[in-house]
Every structure is written in structure tokens, then in C-alpha cells.
Structure 1
Amino acid sequence: MKNKIYNLAIIVCIALFSSCENAIDIKQVGRVTADVAFTNVSELENGLTGAYGFFDLTREVAMAVNYTDETAEGTENGGQGRTTGAIFNLNAASAAASTFWTNGYDRLNALNRLIEAADLIETNGAEEASKKNDILGQAYALRAYANFQLVSYFTTDYTDDNALAVIKVDFVPSIADKLLRSTNGELYALIEDDLNKASSLIEDESNPIFVSKDFVTALRARMAAYRQDYVTAESLASSLVTKYPLADRTAYRLMFQDSDNSEIIFKLQRDVNGIYDNQPGSGTVAASGWIGGVTLFGANTPYFEIGRSLFNLIDPDDVRYDVIVDPVSIVAPDYTNTTDYRVEDVLQVNKYPGKPGQVLLNDNKVFRSSEMYLIVVEAKIARNDLIGAAEDIKALRDIRFGSDQPLPSYGSQQEAYEALLNERRVEFAFEGHRWKDIKRLGERANQGVERDPVDAAEFGMTATLPATDYRFTLPIPLVEFNGNPDLRTQQNPGYN
């Protein structure tokens, strides 16, 4: 597997053998079932390659671009976002709801079939048995990640084990199954069990495009932070910070050109002529493709630009400014008093410039050590170690600026959380974190969506959305109710 790339034919194969049974479960001639789709370890490996292909961050980036304060309208905007994210129009019929739900269960379907099929495959010798275990370990880790992503978008409260999560599916269901939502506690238990299995089965792996034991640790650290289990989160995150030092300014630039992996724990590789080498759906969360295409049609054709409230947080001396802000941008010295704001202040996104052969096509960075670093900061704030948190924020900024920066001082936990949320806002701009960060940290920081008043007025955008708003949890989509009507009784608050 180490020398293979994502294979569209394999994904199509998985889709074929994962098709639903008909209503009376006729055993159709030629139907591809798990026992014939996977007959040996090599075919199981191909199935895992295909399962990797179901994972993508483009839609997560689009969710934050549309429904938070990362962007405003671009010069080439043709209406993208105006009736959805710009006014926070989110309901059970929205593309966001159906996209995250159906894609999450597509991933689980592929992985559950792979895991079940593995039981049917006999191995010949220790080497083949080890290879099979490694494949199975990666599948368990990816299933844990897929389930956590679903929980992240559809539960109302990450910290409440009794809150409803999503439908727990750790098997291959039949078309007759009408399942209801399980609790967070039940999903977290499944995720932990899968991660335990993954950790025991995965072989050591240093290539960040494959699931590794460090992937398992990073997912555990992120999940612990979301659950506010900060003792666990800090311990796990600290171990990865030690192993993956923060990138210096040169490496940081190269990281987003896919030429350096200094602080990358795991990423989804994207190849020219691969399955994600295409223009995504022009501002919608429903399509995938070039991750840079979430905001641009192509070079210098932005339909979304950097929101002014985000831009105002980024210091030009910070390397993150160089990575986020395209050099072709036009920056108005006094943007609040322009004659024509749309053409005098054009802030183009540069986070995903592309790679040789295709602009806007870049690897999707899933886990970076900077996230682990800021999880440690979050843990220190939670235990009221505000001095320690300030020192860590300064150390991160020292590296990003390439020079000694002032030591911040926080007078309260709320002030420290606000500083952390702003730091995450800059560090992970256009990486798909912002919506979930507001959901879990916004109330503690007294910060929700904060669009610049000029952007709001110029483009007809709703200026603010408090962190406590129900729209920081996605609704169960209508498409699910069509086949599972009893699930309507478990719809998330605000969408009934």
C-alpha cells in the first residue's frame, strides 16, 4: 500500500458492493458481497486504499467559510452563499446537513464492510498476518475518526455523555434497519474501543499520508479537548508536541505548498489527476475537489475573500499573513472610508496555492502539531494557569514572527480563552476549524461569529451569531427522515 495512490476504480467497486438490498432481500445473481469482494490480504489492502478516498476536508473548510466570519464576498461572487451562510440560513433541508450526514455514513459503510470482510480472510505466514493487522488497525482508526466527525457536527454538547449524538453503526446494516440516535457516551465508547484496537494493530508509520499510532494519539487529544477532559488532552498533546516541533517560518510556508511535513501528523494526499483534482461546487458545502477552490474559481478569481474581521487579526510580520493573504491582494489603508469597498479592498485567500500542474490543489492537513500545542494552552487556561498559557502563546508567536514577541497578560480565564480563540482563528484559518471552535470555546471566550460591520453592510451579511445559537449544531437532514421517519422525534433543538 505504501507505494499506491487513491484509486477511483476501487472506490467504485466499494460503492457497488455496498449497494442496498431490495425490500425483500433477493439474492441477486452477480451481486458483489464482502466474501467475494475481499478474498485475500492484497484485495483487503485495495479496499483500505479506497476507504481513504472517502475522507476529505474540503466540505469542512466550506462550512467554516460559509457559516462563520472567515470570509466576505469576493470580486467574482455570483451569489455564492448569499441565501445560506451570509444570513445563517440553516435547516434540515440545507446542503450542510445532508452533506455531513451522508458522507459520514458513506465512510462508515466502506469501513464496516472492510472490517467485517477481514474476519473471512485467512493469512499465510507471520508477514501476511502482520500486514492484515496493520490494514485492520488503520480501518479501526479511520472509523473512529469518521464517528468523531459525525459527533462533532450533530451533537448539541460535546461534554454531556447523555446528549444525543448520531446513529451508532459498527456493523453493516440491512435496508430494513430503522435505527435511532445513540448518546455521546455510547459513541465515545465505540471510538475509544476502535482506537484501542487500532493502537494494538497498526505498525509504526512515519509517512503522514497514512494512519499511524500518532494519528491515534492526535485524535484522542482532540476528542479529550472537546470533552474538556484536560488532564488527558494535555498529556497526549504534549507527547506529540515533543515529537513534532513547530515549523519555522520557511518550513511553515513550504508546508502549505506541500513541500514540507515538519509539523504534520496526518494529512490527506491530493494528486494531480487524482479523484479530487476538480473544481468543487463554487462555494457550496456539498461538493469536493481542490481545497483552494472553496474560495476561488482559479488564480485571481475569488468568489469569497478574507473577511475583514479575520484579516485585522493578522500581523503583516507574521508568517501566517504570507500564507493566508495572497500577494495580489489590494489592502485599503482605511477600509472603513473607501469610495468603492469592493474594488479598493480585495483580500484574496492564499492558503492553498496549489502544486505543480494544478493551482488550488493541495493536501488536506488533518492533524498538525500546532493544534496539539494550542490544546496544551487550552488545558492550562482551564486549570487557571494563565501565566503558563501566556508563555506558550508567546512561544508560538515567536516562531511565527521569527522574533521575540511581547508576553501577553490575561486578567481572567475569559480573556485568556478569547486570546486562544483568536490565535486558533489565525493559525487554522481556512482549515475547517472555526465553526466547531466557536461552538465549543465561544461561550467561554464571550465570542461568536463576528463579521466586520463594513462587510456586513456592504454584502448584506448578518453581522453576528452568538456561540449559544442552535445553529452551531447541524440538524438531522430531511433525506434521513425519508427512510427513517421515527428519527424525526430526535431532531436537534431549533429545527423542529
Structure 2
Amino acid sequence: MKNKIYKLTVVVMIAIFSSCENAVDITQVGRVTADVAFTNVSELRDGLISSYGFFDLTREVAMAVNYTDETAEGTENGGQGRTTGHIFNLNAGSAAASTFWTNGYDRLNSLNRLIEAADLVEPADAAETAQKNDILGQAYALRAYANFQLVSYYSTDYTNDAALAVLKVDFVPSIADKLLRSTNGELFQLIDEDLTKAASLIDDQSNPIFVSKDFVTALRARMAAYRQDYTTAETLANSLMTRYPLANRTQYRLMFVDEDNTEIIFKLQRDVNGIYDNQPGSGTVAATGWIGGVTLFGANTPYFEIGRSLFNLIDPDDVRYNVIVDPVSIVAPDYTNTSNYREEDVLQVNKYPGKPGQVLLNDNKVFRSSEMYLIIVEAKIARNDLTGAAQDIKALRDIRFGDAQPLPIYASQQEAYAALLNERRVEFAFEGHRWKDIKRLGVRANQGAERDPIDVAEFGMTPRLAPDDFRFTLPIPLVEFNGNPELRAQQNPGYNN
């Protein structure tokens, strides 16, 4: 964000100094101000829909694909990941650092302008007043989500209110603003205030492609779990489970071809010929488009495949196997003793097969009831109810397998956290959770990003990233320092400016 402002500042200053000093008081002809852009409730609605367009999970999926243990090289790999995720190469100049920062502030810029402009719009009647309130409610909820996403990538410790978060931008900034990072406490307070406003304004609805009051509850539950406020997290998650039951095996398969919404609390809809109907830049977190394109060029052309350490966790009798593993895959009976591992063990990702008219294009699932369910498990482990946690994981696996599964026994909290992390690893494979899950649960589970030795040997991948490694927090990007050099003093630990 600041880099864009910095460039604009240079252009404006050149124009000013080439004229007279009174030029600063001139209103530029053709400037689109809030009172021009939004003059009625219908235009506010258009602005809200435009703001939705800034939200996307493709880059989050790519982050986990590149920088954890979800993938290894595919048969069509042309170098993707070799200088970045393969070796966990992450620094202030990395695409990941700038991508989540600039996209986050693009989202906030759009929403702040909409919220500010709403003050200038007078509804014509009670019906328009209700519509305006609903628009504002959704905008506040999306702003809370955008801020939470930024904090989740750039804060070192979600549980520490004194830790540095990101720039607090709840207004439309001027080109002169040079903000420093606020604390977690300040950001979470803003998020909480926005969610409170959202809950009071949103006209609750059951359409999962629009923000609802249940979206607000789901975000609060996820945020409480990240912050280890498990009493709140469990209460909120339980309240959603009554309305969004876990999908059965048929519903689960249909969910990932966008034909069932049983456990979908909120998703980002993706349409053929829509703004996200394009091939993303292969192997990078910087580009977006078809979410299935994070690992494939097209049908049966994988440049990333399922990492063996992930694949080994998935039982073929589990419905998640068929959702994650493409049926065209070649599974070596003894992958550790093949003559040509790359060609004899081809584990193609199937989670985003596409929809009629476009392969690899699928809706982005943001909040599912299975996440709420596993938040409840997490809360039980935190209070040392290991039996209750084991019973819940068994119940989930019973549904995913379609028959009764053994009841696990956990001898310690660490063992239970490891089992939870593995269950989340399978349940949310290629949904963008893995990097942040290791960051917040890895130390408790004694589990980092763990790659299979064969993948490591075959593809030159770094074998492990410890759960307490500084690279589970993104650096403030170099592009931000260009327009805001004082921020360099607040760089995250482990990174050079």
C-alpha cells in the first residue's frame, strides 16, 4: 500500500513544484470522490460486490503448498518452488511477503472507502435503510476478516496483546500518512468492534456466498482459537454446529465440486468467465485465478503433487482420499524402492477438479463446520480432556470413513495436539490452513513442516521447518519500506531489512 502511495506522491510533488504553491488548493478535474462514487443505496451495493472481488484464497493455498509439507515436485515441474518453498527461502523481498501485505491493504482501502461513503448516502425509505444497514454490516465483517488475515500472517504471537501486529488502517489514508505498526491488542480491539457492528447491522441470510451473522460467529471462533481463548472458541463453534452439520460422504464429495453446501458457512463463489477465471502464475503466491491451478497447469499436468508425508496419512477408505487424490494418480506399492520415483509415483491433487465449463475453477471454502468441530476438539485438548477429544476425532473419522473407526488413546496433551494437527492436515489439505496451523499448534504438537525423505532426496527439498522457526511469520515487505522507511525498525525477528 505505501509503495503505491509513495509513487503517487512523487508524481503529485513534481506537478506541484512545476506550477505555483497555490496549486495544492485546486481540486483536480475528474477526481472521483466519495460523494460522486456513491450517491444511493444501489451504488453502495455495487461497491460492496466490488469489495468482495478483492477476497480470494488462491494465494493462501499457494502459501501452504509452497512453504509447508503439502507438496513435492510434479511430473510437469519446470522449476516451480525450487528457489523458494523447496528450501523455505523466505525474506523481505519474497513474493509472499509483499503479496499478503498489498492485497490486505487493497481490501481495506476498498472497504474503508465504502464505509466512509455510506455516511453521505441518505436512504429513500425504510426498506432502503435496511438495505444500507446490511451493506454496512457486511463491509464491517469483511474489514474484520481482512485485518485478521493480515495479523495472522505478520504477527509473531497471536496470544500476546503487546506483540506487534500490522498497520491499523480504519480510515481512508492520505498520501502523507506514514503509519507504524499497532499492537495485537489494538488490532483485535478494532476487529472485535467491527464484528459487533456487523452483527447488529447484517440482515441474517442463509446464502453462503454472502457474509451473514454466522460468518461473524465463525470468524470470532477462529480468532478465539488462534488467541487460545478456548472458552469463547468452544461456545461459538458449538453454536454453529447445530446449523451446519458435518457432511456425510456423498455431501463431502459434492461439496468440492460446488454441488452441496451442507457444511459451508461461507465461501467465495467462482464463476466461469468471472474475474478469477484464469490460469494463475504457476508456482507462485503472487498470482490468482483458478484455485486448482495452484498445483496444475491443466488436467493431468501437475507441477506440484501431493507430498508423500501428507499422502501417507490418508487412508484409501476415507472419503477425503478420493477428494484429495486424483483417480489418475499412480501409486507405487513401494515408493521407497522405485527406479524412477518421479514417474512411478504420481500423486495428483484432485481437490479442485473444476466445474462445468472450466477445469480447476472452484469456489473457495472459507469457513466450514468441520473447522468449528475441530476447534471444539482443540479446546478439549487445551483443558486436558483427552478422552473427550479422542471421542470427537473418532466421531469425525466415523463419518469420513462411513463406518466405526478405532477410538484413539492419547497419553499426553502433546500427543493429542499432534493427532489434531494431523487430522487438520488431512481435512483441510490444499485449503490454505497448514502454514498457520503449524505456526500456532506446531510447538504444542512437536510437529513442524515434515517432508518425506524420498521427496527430500529426489527433489533437493529442505527436510524440515521447525515449528518455532521465525519463517512461520512473514516479514514486512521491502515494497512497504520504500514509502515508509521508519517501519524498518519494526521488522519481524529473523529478517534483514
TM-score normalised by length of structure 2:
0.95
In structure 1, what is the Cα distance between the partners aligned to 2:12 and 2:271?
37
In structure 2, what is the Cα distance between the partners aligned to 1:353 and 1:373?
26
Work out whether residues 279 and 289 of structure 1, in 8 Å CA contact, stay in contact via their aligned partners in 2.
yes
SS in 1 for 2:365: strand
SS in 2 for 1:243: coil
SS in 1 for 2:147: helix
In structure 1, what is the Cα distance between the partners aligned to 2:126 and 2:242?
33
Query: Alpha-carbon deviation of 1:108?
Result: 0.1
Q: Partner of 1:128 in structure 2?
A: 128
In structure 2, what is the Cα distance between the partners aligned to 1:175 and 1:86?
39
Please list, as runs of the form range in 1=range in 2, the aligned pairs for 1:284-363 lying within 5 A after superposition: 284-363=284-363
Are residue 486 (structure 1) and residue 486 (structure 2) matched?
A: yes
In structure 1, what is the Cα distance between the partners aligned to 2:335 and 2:300?
20
Q: Partner of 1:209 in structure 2?
A: 209
Deviations, residues 227-274 of structure 1 (Å, cap 9, x unaligned): 000000000001111110000000000000000001000000000000
In structure 2, what is the Cα distance between the partners aligned to 1:367 and 1:288?
20
In structure 1, what is the Cα distance between the partners aligned to 2:314 and 2:465?
22
Q: Partner of 1:107 in structure 2?
A: 107
Are residue 268 (structure 1) and residue 258 (structure 2) matched?
A: no
Deviations, residues 184-208 of structure 1 (Å, cap 9, x unaligned): 0000000000000000000011000
Q: 1:22 aligns with which of 9, 12, 32?
A: 12
Query: Alpha-carbon deviation of 1:62?
Result: 0.1
In structure 2, what is the Cα distance between the partners aligned to 1:389 and 1:173?
46
Are residue 443 (structure 1) and residue 443 (structure 2) matched?
A: yes
Q: Partner of 1:5 in structure 2?
A: none
Q: Partner of 1:476 in structure 2?
A: 476
Q: Partner of 2:20 in structure 1?
A: none
Query: Alpha-carbon deviation of 1:60?
Result: 0.1
In structure 1, what is the Cα distance between the partners aligned to 2:33 and 2:77?
46
Residue type at the aligned position of 2:458: E
In structure 1, what is the Cα distance between the partners aligned to 2:256 and 2:196?
32
Please list, as runs of the form range in 1=range in 2, the aligned pairs for 1:394-409 lying within 5 A after superposition: 394-409=394-409
Please list, as runs of the form range in 1=range in 2, the aligned pairs for 1:2-401 lying within 5 A after superposition: 22-23=12-13, 27-401=27-401
Residue type at the aligned position of 1:472: F
TM-score normalised by length of structure 1:
0.96
In structure 2, what is the Cα distance between the partners aligned to 1:123 and 1:41?
6
In structure 1, what is the Cα distance between the partners aligned to 2:64 and 2:371?
17
The sequence identity of aligned pairs, in percent, is: 85
Deviations, residues 159-180 of structure 1 (Å, cap 9, x unaligned): 0000000000000000100000
Query: Alpha-carbon deviation of 1:28?
Result: 1.2
In structure 1, what is the Cα distance between the partners aligned to 2:127 and 2:285?
43
Query: Alpha-carbon deviation of 1:22?
Result: 3.0
SS in 2 for 1:310: helix
Query: Alpha-carbon deviation of 1:81?
Result: 0.3
Q: Partner of 1:466 in structure 2?
A: 466
In structure 1, what is the Cα distance between the partners aligned to 2:224 and 2:371?
13
SS in 2 for 1:301: coil
SS in 1 for 2:436: helix
Work out whether residues 64 and 434 of structure 1, in 8 Å CA contact, stay in contact via their aligned partners in 2.
yes
Alignment: residue pair count: 479
SS in 2 for 1:43: helix
Work out whether residues 22 and 175 of structure 1, in 8 Å CA contact, stay in contact via their aligned partners in 2.
no
Deviations, residues 284-305 of structure 1 (Å, cap 9, x unaligned): 0000000000000000000000
Residue type at the aligned position of 1:133: N
Query: Alpha-carbon deviation of 1:27?
Result: 2.5
Query: Alpha-carbon deviation of 1:137?
Result: 0.2
Residue type at the aligned position of 1:286: A
In structure 2, what is the Cα distance between the partners aligned to 1:333 and 1:237?
40
SS in 2 for 1:165: strand
SS in 1 for 2:242: helix
SS in 1 for 2:431: coil
Q: Partner of 1:12 in structure 2?
A: none
Task: Give 5+ residue unaligned stretches, structure 2.
Answer: 17-23
Work out whether residues 355 and 362 of structure 1, in 8 Å CA contact, stay in contact via their aligned partners in 2.
yes
Residue type at the aligned position of 1:22: V
Query: Alpha-carbon deviation of 1:283?
Result: 1.1
Query: Alpha-carbon deviation of 1:124?
Result: 1.3
